[in-house]
Structure 1
Amino acid sequence: MGSRSMSSRKYAIFSCLTVLGLIATYLVSEKTNISTNFEPNSRVSQVKQSESVVVNFQNLLQQYLKVQFGSQIWRTFYPEVDALLGLIEDNKLKWPAPITKTTFAKFTELSVKNRAEGYAVGDTVVATIEAKNGLGERKQHGGDYFYCRLMSTTEKGDILATGVACDIIDHGNGFYTASAPLLWPGNSTLFVDLVHSSEAVAALVLESAASSAKDIHFISTYPSGEEVDCNVGLPPNPSRPLCNLSHPEKGSSWFCYSDSAGNCPNVTYTETTYDNRVSFVGTTPLFNPETNFKVAIQMQGNVIQVKNSTYTSDLLKNLPRCETESGMPERSFENKAGYQSGFYLNGQWQSLQCEPRLTALSPEQCLQNKVIYCLGDSTMRQWYFALKSHLQLNDNPTKIQGRPKQDVWQAPVLDTDLVTT
């Protein structure tokens, strides 16, 4: 008897709350003229709503229970990701998505637009990537991360030591355009990998930039020795403004909290720390190396035969001589070869920005009595260790203040601006 009475009481309370919620929703929508019918309904569209509002309580709940992806300040650097996250936040894209609705490399297709007249050195090869889910259906939105490169190959398909990276355009509807300049004669082959599905990208944002992850930290040290948190996006902190160390011209964002005085000095050292845990990537089917994580996609007509011409040799002859200050940021230039900064030619890097000054000196002779500054990311750090070990170089901490008792330092030299929004 007691349990039956308790169940009846719970049902009555639930019913009252539901009714109150519907009444409140109706009143709010009447006062503000906010439509709560977020999904198209053919029957509803035929009804004039000048004096009444059709209430979709389920969609209203979804509106106020949106998936939030943290700070917005970094998203302007990544328009494709921003568009994807916006679809989820506006409830136009179901999240989390069933694994069969995510992008699968097995069904995704690549087709090369072959030309009747064939290709010659100096032309551009263009291909279409059609992203499909695990059911073989074309994706209706973008956000997938594909990696494409054009490589010189033998008639049997063996990869040679000449190649160039491709440009990829996300059209936001499941179609992507990949293109690459043809800079050498002979057989070439397009290779495209699905690195991450759009759903995996969103999951990574939730795990990192949205600050839901508590196990990976980027800690930077200021010249005073004060340590602060940094990331591609950080939540606002009333007592600590954000310092903007981003590089818009390179399409990358990076923010750090200010020091205790509210200033943004140069960063002298940055390190990554990990808490004890299992990698997030290894705990979800969104990162399956057999279906959707760094998997080659199907190809149609991806082998191209290229006739020779003087295009590349003429292009390289007219390049300016490389100078120390001639480094250019990504997409800061464009020539007939596109946006590529260079390519590998018979195993050697060939710049498309300037003519390299190569000498026959040994590394020891070339670097003797010189101070070497290694500025970059973790890849540059690996080069630092390799150079130091191979050439038996000495650290020179007096040239720049680094982290005490450390032989690796990073010191961006750009002046930072306070971010107050």
Structure 2
Amino acid sequence: MSEPDTLPGTLSPKTLVAWIIYFKISLPDSTIPRPPKPRPASKSASKSTESPSLLASLPQELANLTHLLYWPPTPGDEGDLLASTSPQNSTYHLRGPTQASYALGGYLEVILVARDHRGRPKTHGGDLFRAQLLGPDLKAGVPGDVQDLENGTYLLSFPLLWAGQAQVQVRLIHSSEAVGVLRRIWREKRATVDFRGYFRGPTGAEETVICNVDPQSTGAKGPTCQYRDVDSSELWFCAQPPTLPCDSLVGHSSGSYLKVTTPHDEALLAWKVTDKVLPRGISPIQIRMAATGNSSLALSPRPACRPGLPAPKPSGFYHQDVWHSLFCSARSFSTADSILGCLAGHVVHMMGDSTLRQWWEYLRDTVPCEWP
């Protein structure tokens, strides 16, 4: 048996999924309301012992958070899979007339029309589309902004950041109907994954059971073992092992996904309609350099990169396989020697999830040196 990932009394299963925060708000099931407009702090707030600047920023922070939580209404399809959004039938076209070329530093706007599997235009929003402007020959790319107009159409906007050819690519990540399924699961289910709890007795006997923050999701036929996370004080549970006591837990690790969907839900979330590229609706465009200047990139003067700088949307783009930040002047380290030169004399602390782990593995495999 492999060694467990954690030691008892340190992390609960809830902390294994890093950097994910779930917000549960008591609102009607249909949708989350539109974010309120920012309003100034009240006069009484200025008499508080809290920092006035902190209090003044709370309405804006609340509005930002509410805006992030907002998603357009997603009416149910009443079991009709053909009424869900189709990546094959949805189309997009330029908002304005086609031009021979487009100016570097400008914007390209596109109208997307969502259609169901019968080819009928959708009359409500809520689909999760992602759009990119790509320059395959230039190894370039930038994400586009997708604005849901909540009537079955979407406005896509792309900054034109390099001179040369570019083409629009749109993907349907989830239909509005699938989003509704995911929202219902988020609302109704306390857990969607389980964990493995590892127990070891004084004689070396080992037993493995299912653990979860939801005691019913442990599958226990009898008693459960109860534990408390040392950081959050939240309770989590394991099915009691057949012979070993609860205090013989030596660790736990991630397990598997729980069965939380119906066959109809699974069809809406199926790979055939998930993360699919829409048929190309626009021919590649040509982006011309500005009349003044000879730069092939739309990069204005930027300060040196440092922690705390606000990032625009998008925060940058790729060109010739190099990332260019739009809000600070970043440097590129393309060789092992340049990476070593940057890291020399520094202590770097990394904290994150599996994405950061991939970066660490790349660094470890790229830079030849002694790693701890």
TM-score normalised by structure 2 residue count: 0.59
2:299 match: secondary structure: helix
Distance 2:324 2:29 in 1: 46
Instruction: Please give the alpha-carbon distance, in whole angstroms, between the structure 2 residues aligned to 1:123 and 1:67.
Output: 41
Paired with 1:313 and 1:186, the residues of 2 have a C-alpha distance of 8
Contact kept? 2:73, 2:125, Cα under 8 Å: yes
SS of 1:76 mapped into structure 2: helix
The counterpart of 2:103, out of the listed 98, 113, 120, is: 120
Q: Secondary structure at the match of 1:205?
A: helix
Unaligned runs of 5+ in 2: 1-27, 33-61, 197-210, 215-230, 236-251
Q: Residue 380 of structure 1 aligns with which residue? A: 356
Which residue in 2 is equivalent to 1:303? 284
Task: Tell me the distance in 2 between the aligned counterparts of 1:351 and 1:149.
Answer: 17
Quote the Cα distance in structure 1 between the aligned partners of 2:195 and 2:30: 22
For 1:412, the equivalent position in structure 2 comes to none
Q: Which residue number corresponds to residue 222 of structure 2?
A: none
1:112 CA drift (Å): 1.5
Structure 1 residue 380 displacement after superposition: 1.4
Distance 1:68 1:105 in 2: 25
Pairing 1:17-416 to 2, within 5 Å after superposition: 76-81=66-71, 83-84=72-73, 93-115=75-97, 118-153=101-136, 160-207=138-185, 209-212=186-189, 214-216=191-193, 258-259=232-233, 273-275=254-256, 284-290=266-272, 292-309=273-290, 310=293, 316-323=299-306, 325-328=307-310, 332-333=311-312, 339-358=313-332, 361-391=337-367, 394=371
Q: CA deviation at 1:352?
A: 0.7
Tell me which protein shows more helix as a share of its residues: 1
**Partner Cα distance (2:176, 2:329) in 1:** 39
Give the residue type in structure 1 aligned to 2:172.
L
RMSD of the alignment, in Å?
A: 3.9
Rg: which structure is higher? 1
Whether contact under 8 Å (1:321, 1:357) holds in the other structure is no
Secondary structure at the counterpart of residue 300 of structure 1: coil
Find the counterpart in structure 2 of residue 27 from structure 1: none
| Paired residue type of 1:348 | V
Q: Mind listing any 5+ residue stretches in structure 1 that lack a counterpart? A: 1-65, 86-92, 154-158, 220-226, 231-256, 262-270, 334-338, 396-421
Greater mean deviation of Cα atoms: 104-113 or 281-290? 281-290
Cα displacement (A) at 1:394: 4.4
Confirm or deny: 8 A CA contact 2:191 2:213 kept in the other structure: no
Change (3 A) 1:344 1:275: closer
- In structure 2, how many angstroms separate the alpha carbons of the residues matched to 1:174 and 1:372? 47
Task: Indicate conservation of the 8 Å contact 1:218/1:229, yes or no.
Answer: no
Task: Give yes or no for contact 1:195–1:294 (8 Å, CA) kept in 2.
Answer: yes
Deviation at 1:381, TM superposition (A): 2.5
Task: Check whether the contact 1:112–1:126 (CA below 8 A) recurs between aligned residues.
Answer: yes
**Identity between Structure 1 and Structure 2 (%):** 26
Counterparts of 1:95 and 1:211 in 2: how far apart (Å)? 19
TM (norm. structure 1) is 0.53
